């Protein structure tokens, strides 16, 4: 991955994809060195096929590079925090509870995506996040009977 003028990030898709597949295949082959034939025959064959296909992509990427745009600066500035926020949400929502985590995450996501960084915009985002979260909480728990995590917030902790 390289940035040319700092504005657009491109990647040689065959080289990157092939490299990733070869690494995955190598890990699988090392892990699959157990001798139990019937247990490991299929993972071994699949890993070998994956390694061959990955190597083919590496060769193709080296001989005829297929450079693709991965991000521009603006896209990266939005997607990367969004992806990190998603992981944090996934970790916290079972511990802190669905309602508070979702309100904060939803409001933050909406605020960032609206691109109006004012107090009024933050307030609107918070209202949207709260309303959507509470409506969905009722729908998930009462219609679909999903036992959403209540976390410490609901337990008064």
Partner 1 sequence: MLEGLSGMLAPQMVLTLALSTLGGAIVGGVPGLTATMAVALLVPFTFALEPAVGLVAIGGTFVGAMYGGAIPACLINTPGTPSALATTFDGFPLTRQGKGQHALVAAGISSAAGAFIGGLALLLLSPPLAEFSLRFGPPEFFWIGMFGLTMIASLASGSLWKGLAGGALGMLLSTIGIAPALAHARFTFGMPGLLGGLSMVPSLVGLFAIPQALRLVEAHRERPRIVEYRESRGVAAEVARALVLHPMTLIRSSAIGTIVGILPAAGSPIASLLSYNEAVRWSRHPDTFGKGTVEGVAAAEAASNAAAPASMIPLLALGVPGSPPAAVALGALLLHGLRPGQALYAEHAGIVYTFIWSMVLAGFVIMAISMLASRYLVRIAAFPVHVLAPLILLFGVVGSFAIRSNVLDVGVMLSFGLLGYLLDKMAFSAGPIVLGLILGPIVESGLVSSLAMVGTGRSWLDVFVFRPISAALILLTLLSVTWPIISRRLLPSAAPAIAAAGEDA
Of the candidates 91, 129, 137, the residue with the CA atom closest to the CA atom of residue 110: 129
| Structural tokens at position 75 | 């896209």
Task: Please check whether residue 66 is in contact with residue 10, taking contact to mean a CB–CB distance below 8 angstroms.
Answer: no
User: Is 61 within 8 Å of 15 (Cβ atoms)?
Assistant: yes
User: What is the secondary structure of 120-135 as a DSSP string?
Assistant: HHHHHHHHHHHHHHHH
Q: Please tell me whether residue 59 binds partner 1 under the rule CB under 8 A.
A: no
Please list every residue from 65 through 94 that binds partner 1, using CB under 8 A.
66, 68, 70-71, 74-75, 78-79, 82-83, 86-87, 89-90, 93-94
Binding site for partner 1 (CB under 8 A): 11, 13-14, 16-17, 20-21, 24-25, 28, 31-32, 34, 36, 38-43, 45-47, 49-50, 53-54, 56-57, 60, 66, 68, 70-71, 74-75, 78-79, 82-83, 86-87, 89-90, 93-94, 98, 102, 105-106, 109-110, 113-115, 128, 132, 136, 140, 143-149
């Amino acid at each position: 991955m390289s940035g040319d003028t700092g504005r657009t990030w491109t990647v040689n898709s065959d080289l990157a994809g092939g490299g990733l597949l070869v690494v995955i295949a190598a890990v699988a082959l090392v892990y699959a060195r157990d001798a139990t034939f019937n247990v490991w025959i299929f993972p071994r064959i699949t890993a070998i096929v994956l390694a061959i296909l990955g190597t083919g992509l590496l060769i193709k990427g080296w001989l005829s590079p297929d450079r693709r745009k991965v991000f521009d600066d603006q896209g990266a500035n939005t997607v990367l925090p969004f992806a990190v926020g998603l992981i944090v949400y996934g970790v916290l929502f079972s511990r802190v509870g669905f309602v508070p985590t979702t309100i904060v995450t939803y409001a933050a996501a909406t605020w960032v995506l609206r691109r109006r960084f004012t107090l009024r915009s933050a307030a609107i985002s918070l209202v949207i996040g709260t309303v959507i979260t509470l409506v969905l909480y009722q729908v998930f728990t009462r219609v679909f009977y999903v036992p959403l995590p209540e976390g410490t917030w609901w337990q008064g902790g």
